[in-house]
């Protein structure tokens, strides 16, 4: 338990009264509607976590609408998901983001020189869902579909600082301890062993002080996929389309908001499915790390005067290894004192893999800095004022002929 405040406001959990918060949210919902976005893959339908999420969401009558942004490979898969969410009592809509109806609308955007058809993945699905959610909601909350430890308090804690007019934050990021209490394991390796030491290495090499990097370090868990924000702010953000989504989104919030209107909230213990490392930088945790490298290098390029070169990448590699190895020693001490299972050799192997990905991805960035950000919704609406309505109509069209 601590009282520490960062550059941004940190909302701790000092045994808060969850039922009192939910009751107040129900009152606030009358004037400030909220929408929940859950991006998901069809494969997540098999997870018992999703059934528990639906069970808990049925207790969240302060949420006006739930939007499932789905990636499915066939009509049968899409219909399976629609039938599954029939048990969700809240008003909800399933968007088949890569289905023919939504894809048709996306393709029509090309006529206005607004082509997002080359983008794939979670970022694009979230972008589509934000457009539809912002039609009616004052605030939008987002979380993943694979949270093992999910409860109704998750969405309540995320929304409360946004909806409560006494606070009026524009953006709230969740943070938590990635600890599995049953097997006594510490997870979150990409953040613990890569993101944090990599940002520290970047800061050491940046010629002038980077306020953005300081800001990113203020978040207790940068890679958390759980956050809430106002619809107005959401419309101004350029969302990365790859695994750099969470990091890139925070940089966009920094550009379009202020520190005093940004906060983070303690969500307690958290567990979800764990990804494999992957054979190369095209899959698994390796793909995630590669995308994060590219995103952070872009942010550094945009916000500092540093020249990113081959020698700069080599320097990052050396510094990253040192900082990551120091953190392993610290995590080991923390694990021993909390009776957690901690294999230092395995952690060192992860650092070695991540360092090689850093070098490979850094060289990729030097060749062609990637364009991975979606256009913000304000730009999209200036080109196609009714685009959100078109996407919602397409999603509803897919639902018309399904028998539950």
Which of 250-254's residues contact partners 24+ apart within 8 Å by CB, and which partners? 250/173, 250/215, 250/216, 250/219, 250/222, 251/212, 251/216, 251/295, 251/299, 251/303, 253/170, 253/171, 253/229, 254/212, 254/215
Map out the domains of the chain as residue ranges: 9-399
Q: pLDDT digits over 239-259, tens only? A: 887 777 899 999 999 999 999
Give the number of other Cβ atoms within 10 Å of residue 15's Cβ: 7
Tell me the CA end-to-end span of the chain in Å, nearest whole number: 48
If pLDDT is split at 50, 70 and 90, which confidence band does 1 have? Answer: low
Helix (H) or strand (E) holding 268: strand 262-269
For residues 106-133, give the mean pLDDT.
92
If pLDDT is split at 50, 70 and 90, which confidence band does 283 have? Answer: low
If pLDDT is split at 50, 70 and 90, which confidence band does 402 have? Answer: confident
Q: pLDDT digits over 4-23, tens only? A: 998 999 999 988 888 999 99
Q: Are 380 and 387 in contact (CB under 8 A)?
A: yes
- Inter-CA distances, 319 with 200, 204, 254, 316, 383, Å: 8, 8, 26, 5, 45
Residue 286's pLDDT is what?
87
Residue 273's pLDDT is what?
60
Q: What is the rounded CA–CA span in Å between residue 83 and residue 79?
A: 6
Q: Assess whether pLDDT exceeds 70 at residue 207.
A: no
Tell me the two tokens of residue 206: 């940046």
Q: Please give the CATH topology (third level) of the domain spanning 9-399.
A: Spore Coat Polysaccharide Biosynthesis Protein SpsA; Chain A (3.90.550)
Residue 111's pLDDT is what?
92
185 bridge partner residues? 180, 341
Q: pLDDT digits over 143-164, tens only? A: 999 898 899 999 999 999 999 9
């Amino acid at each position: 338990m601590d009282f520490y405040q960062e550059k941004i406001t940190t909302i701790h959990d000092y045994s808060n009264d969850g039922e009192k918060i939910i009751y107040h949210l129900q009152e606030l919902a009358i004037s400030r509607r909220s929408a929940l976005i859950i991006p998901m893959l069809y494969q997540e339908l098999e997870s018992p976590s999703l059934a528990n999420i639906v069970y808990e969401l049925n207790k969240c009558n302060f949420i006006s609408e739930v939007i499932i942004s789905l990636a499915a490979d066939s009509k049968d898969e899409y219909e399976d998901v629609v039938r599954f969410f029939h048990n969700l009592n809240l008003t909800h809509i399933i968007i088949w983001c890569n289905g023919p109806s939504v894809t048709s609308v996306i393709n029509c955007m090309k006529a206005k020189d607004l082509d997002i058809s080359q983008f794939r993945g979670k970022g694009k699905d979230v972008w589509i869902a934000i457009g539809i959610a912002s039609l009616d909601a004052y605030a939008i909350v987002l979380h993943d579909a694979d949270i093992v430890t999910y409860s109704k308090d998750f969405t309540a804690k995320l929304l409360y600082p946004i909806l409560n007019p006494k606070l009026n934050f524009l953006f709230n990021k969740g943070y938590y301890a990635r600890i599995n209490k049953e097997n006594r394991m510490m997870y979150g390796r990409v953040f613990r062993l890569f993101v944090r030491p990599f940002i520290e290495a970047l800061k050491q090499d940046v010629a002038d002080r980077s306020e953005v990097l300081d800001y990113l370090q203020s978040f207790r868990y940068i890679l958390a996929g759980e956050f809430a924000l106002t619809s107005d702010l959401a419309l101004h953000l350029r969302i990365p389309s790859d695994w750099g989504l969470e990091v890139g989104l925070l940089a966009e919030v920094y550009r379009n908001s202020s520190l005093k209107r940004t906060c983070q909230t303690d969500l307690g213990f958290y567990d979800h499915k764990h990804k494999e490392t992957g054979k190369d930088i095209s899959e698994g945790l390796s793909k995630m790390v590669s995308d994060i490298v590219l995103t952070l290098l872009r942010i550094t390029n945009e916000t500092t005067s540093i020249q990113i070169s081959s020698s700069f990448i080599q320097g990052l590699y050396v510094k990253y290894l040192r900082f990551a190895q120091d953190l392993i020693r610290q995590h080991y001490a923390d694990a021993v004192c909390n009776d957690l299972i901690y294999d230092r050799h395995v952690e060192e192997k992860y650092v070695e893999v991540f360092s090689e990905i850093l070098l490979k991805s850094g060289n990729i960035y030097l060749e062609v800095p990637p364009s991975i950000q979606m256009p913000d919704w304000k730009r999209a609406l200036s080109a196609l004022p009714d685009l959100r309505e078109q996407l919602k109509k397409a999603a509803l069209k897919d639902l018309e002929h399904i028998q539950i």
